[in-house]
Structure 1
């Protein structure tokens, strides 16, 4: 490099601000001395510091640059562009997918370029100013903390110093809440200062000041007029301690990145000094045309891959003269080329476990300059498994205004990707999707949960069913697969506006064998404790000889809900759900006696200093447990022109007993097919005389065996309707039995 402007503090940094001065024009002064040189196409190139130069092997997650102030990545914007510098000094364009790619332990090489700058420099006086238009965003933490500089200016003072200024802006965030961002007020800042500057006619070289620069933070970072601390904020335990300029660090106290701009005593202090400047004059080299990864490996269907199904892999590498697909047992290799796979998409007609299970797939592109590889994709295989309902839903019991949860599980390969709840208001003739339902994926062995919108009086006596669907399976089932649950009753208790509780026996329950009780509550308020400690709401099954509302003392319950914490609902939980809850109480066999009254009740518990007391009677309630009703259901009449037994949604003649919620005393998520009380003509042990099976001709003219279903309270009513397997009782309660099947749509 010729004589020119150079600055160095001897710091161990490894990136650069590059300012190229192109085509200067020198005017001649009237006194014979050379006038300041004018420039009209100046380039400023900068990599900030080593913090912004750490690559990511997977191509994601680095602190990347983007042209402009928008949140979306852009490689170019006006006169600004983002490039990568190779070790040989050449530059290459970047994409969002390639900007973070690199090997661990190497420099990322990303640079921001401001092009088309203009200004004047007087090499004799050592003064001058260069200005650029445009902006670059530095996306800290992979885009969670974006900040930008706009319209930078470089000023030479004539005393061997220079200053880089710009308008700074962006979004504030924090380590505690990294996903919450708020826009910052743009302000003018000094981005960097330079010492020992020498101006020359052909080049400039600058290194930002850092070592020995002190910083005292504002008492209120959001108020520039607030006083500064009297004690230095810089950790000076390292001999090379230092800081970026004061106004720049002040700005980053608002972004939440303040500790990255001065020595803090962390192991990353060595990456904080500014990168050294490299300056070249004259025409800039065109980017080297080497293959560039635009898209990493993707597939046209969800993982895992299904044995026997087709799959198509794709990737995009620009500038490649030839591509090769490769497969390996580990991400490091060894990589085996796939014969005949030489285009940027690779179609496999039938997946095999031998070739694809527990493997990595990538595509490499080559030209005369070199070879690059798109990020590999891990795949594994599973055998095809028909999508099926493996845990049926329970009847839904709730109170007006509550948001009940409808739970079931569907399993298969490919797996279901969408879950919904459908409702029938006309005994199953038609079904409509329940809008406003939110889905929560099954975790830790629990069922998939769908929270319904607030229940209304019009929902009482309707019927619900769950529907699980896979996505499109290209080449196999274009509409995917569908599995539907057994329909269940939707029971809604009237809201009173006061603390209330309702309880219903679930199918299979008896006093002798125990079983499950559905409970719904509403209108509860958990008060604050004025004497210390806290209140919670106890919900449990009580022996009414032991406790009834209005009585103090320490009640003894028969059984608690496993969904609550020791039968208690705490203030925060009840406040979040508006004073309501839905739960199921499991009653062990032998816990109840037919000659002793019992009910589900609530009362306030006060806990303080390790002592429980039950003196507050404001939330006392007690509800009898409604008895179930037996309902006879017959197979639907086949539609005209349809052979009996061909309806894939009903399977006439199939033996009942597939509802996993009907086994007394068991978890409703148990395996299906365990209900001993649904065989026609069998007493399920509920204390209610079962409806005897009907024989002979059904309304459809076919011999059929009756099915039994159980629901809430009310007189036992049997309706035999041709073609309808849904029964509405006098009390408005509905019950059904139907086998869930899967059909490709």
Structure 2
């Protein structure tokens, strides 16, 4: 995201402070209003919600690391799966689509920078602190969920607000071995006390039995209890309750430890849901080394968020045939009214591929590998932004089809006889240069009720085979190539083989 975000957040705090002082100056401060006097409600839209949840959600874990993703990660279908690093989380270890993203609809994930600004998240940044150093047990990656386009109403004088957002994000632990979805948050504040709620769903597993994988039914829960909220016309910044909040673990669960400087809990309905995912004790004090990183982080709601323009992105990438080289070109155009050039680097990811290139004239062209097997794959290119422009991601589904082949042919180099074996060379020519056919080919020789078969193993589209002894007469010969994961099937026309006596 833009380097001005930290400046904007400081500006917002200043606006909130000025609003409060102005209210006190005219006798309208919350502590001075008799009978809960109300100003007219103010309708709001384009409201931004920003929350880092807690430090533990952004830390290195015993197996991998904990992370946030915009949108919903795909279901790996079974337990013990982690996001694949080779393709920036596009797939799971078992090859199923995962789709880690920094942006999805109204939702984006942003990372804290060394200068305390925020920019659009990158896959590499999930494992580093704000200075780019690898995470340690004492640091976190500093990511936040940002959801835009909230709508609703607020009453600053009465400290009331009702705002809803439309969007999904994923919270994943152990690089995705356990994760859950958060959907459509809603903020309700009444007389300075509030709640942030959302619908949770996802999957249940167990770090002690990672093969476990069950669907967890959706549930509406309280994400954060907000005991003291000062609502301003420009929004609010508040820290959710955690310290000193008790939680009674279910039978068989980890008991809460209620001593020490970090004891507390997220709201009960939220933690109860996490008991079904296998993450229950990560959201309340359990006496472990992670306790200092569990408390909820501040929530920011901004009715006038600073938004830098994002360049218009266009990704050109065509479907192709296996074995053929192809390219993908990202074009970033300046937004209307902007004069600064779009500069920086962009990163392309798809299964097994990760490339980073500098922009030149607002463009970057990537060469895609010829060796990816046929199938449909998500191709994603991300631009993290710079001092002038917001970051942007663009994705496209690219389909790779099997290479075609010509009809199999053969050439008899030694004719078989009733007493001697013969020899032949078979060929399956690929229609794509540089991608020769492989696999098995079956030769069938038939004469009347007699039938014999020979199997050839193709190498670079050819194979030499031994033909069996054959009785005198004319044999019908057919060659059948069933195809492979990379090449289409093909059969020869029947041919005659005359065998002398």
* Structure 2 length-normalised TM: 0.51
Residues 1:48 and 2:53 are matched in the alignment: yes
SS of residue paired to 1:134: coil
Residues 1:150 and 2:129 are matched in the alignment: no
SS of residue paired to 2:217: coil
Q: CA deviation at 1:84?
A: 1.9
Q: CA deviation at 1:250?
A: 1.0
Q: Which has the higher contact order (CA 8 A, sep 6+)?
A: 2
Q: What is the distance in 2 between the residues matched to 1:289 and 1:133? A: 21
Residues 177-213 of structure 1, C-alpha deviations (whole Å, 9 max, x = no match): 6576443222221111123444455542211222222
Q: Give the corresponding residue for 2:78.
A: none
Q: Give the corresponding residue for 1:254.
A: 276
* Match among 55, 59, 81 for residue 107 of structure 2: 81
* Match among 206, 215, 220 for residue 174 of structure 1: 206
Q: Give the corresponding residue for 1:216.
A: 248
Distance 1:165 1:252, change over 3 A: same
Q: What is the distance in 2 between the residues matched to 1:466 and 1:459? A: 24
Higher helix share: 2
Q: Give the corresponding residue for 1:190.
A: 222
Q: What is the distance in 1 between the residues matched to 2:237 and 2:65? A: 31
Q: How do 1:685-724 and structure 2 match up within 5 A?
A: none
Q: Give the corresponding residue for 1:240.
A: 262
Distance 1:288 1:466, change over 3 A: same
* Match among 118, 132, 141 for residue 152 of structure 2: 118
Structure number with bigger Rg: 1
8 A contact 2:164–2:186 mirrored in 1:
yes
Q: Give the corresponding residue for 2:408.
A: none
Residues 1:39 and 2:71 are matched in the alignment: no
Q: Give the corresponding residue for 2:493.
A: none
8 A contact 2:242–2:266 mirrored in 1:
yes
**RMSD between aligned residues:** 5.8
Q: What is the distance in 2 between the residues matched to 1:32 and 1:50? A: 37
Residues 517-574 of structure 1, C-alpha deviations (whole Å, 9 max, x = no match): xxxxxxxxxxxxxxxxxxxxxxxxxxxxxxxxxxxxxxxxxxxxxxxxxxxxxxxxxx
SS of residue paired to 2:274: helix
Distance 1:178 1:112, change over 3 A: farther
Residues 1:464 and 2:455 are matched in the alignment: yes
Q: Give the corresponding residue for 1:536.
A: none
Q: Give the corresponding residue for 2:307.
A: 286
Residues 1:163 and 2:195 are matched in the alignment: yes
* Structure 1 length-normalised TM: 0.36
Q: Give the corresponding residue for 2:9.
A: none
Distance 1:287 1:267, change over 3 A: farther
Q: What is the distance in 2 between the residues matched to 1:209 and 1:419? A: 63
Q: What is the distance in 1 between the residues matched to 2:367 and 2:72? A: 39
Distance 1:342 1:37, change over 3 A: closer
Distance 1:314 1:266, change over 3 A: farther
SS of residue paired to 1:287: coil
Q: CA deviation at 1:466?
A: 2.7
Q: Give the corresponding residue for 1:273.
A: 295
Q: CA deviation at 1:248?
A: 0.6
- Report how many aligned residue pairs link the two structures: 346
Distance 1:152 1:235, change over 3 A: same
Q: CA deviation at 1:140?
A: 0.9
Q: What is the distance in 2 between the residues matched to 1:235 and 1:313? A: 57
8 A contact 1:235–1:264 mirrored in 2:
yes
Q: CA deviation at 1:251?
A: 0.5
Q: What is the distance in 1 between the residues matched to 2:67 and 2:300? A: 22
Q: What is the distance in 2 between the residues matched to 1:205 and 1:371? A: 23
Distance 1:101 1:233, change over 3 A: closer
Q: What is the distance in 1 between the residues matched to 2:36 and 2:255? A: 52
Q: Give the corresponding residue for 1:423.
A: 442
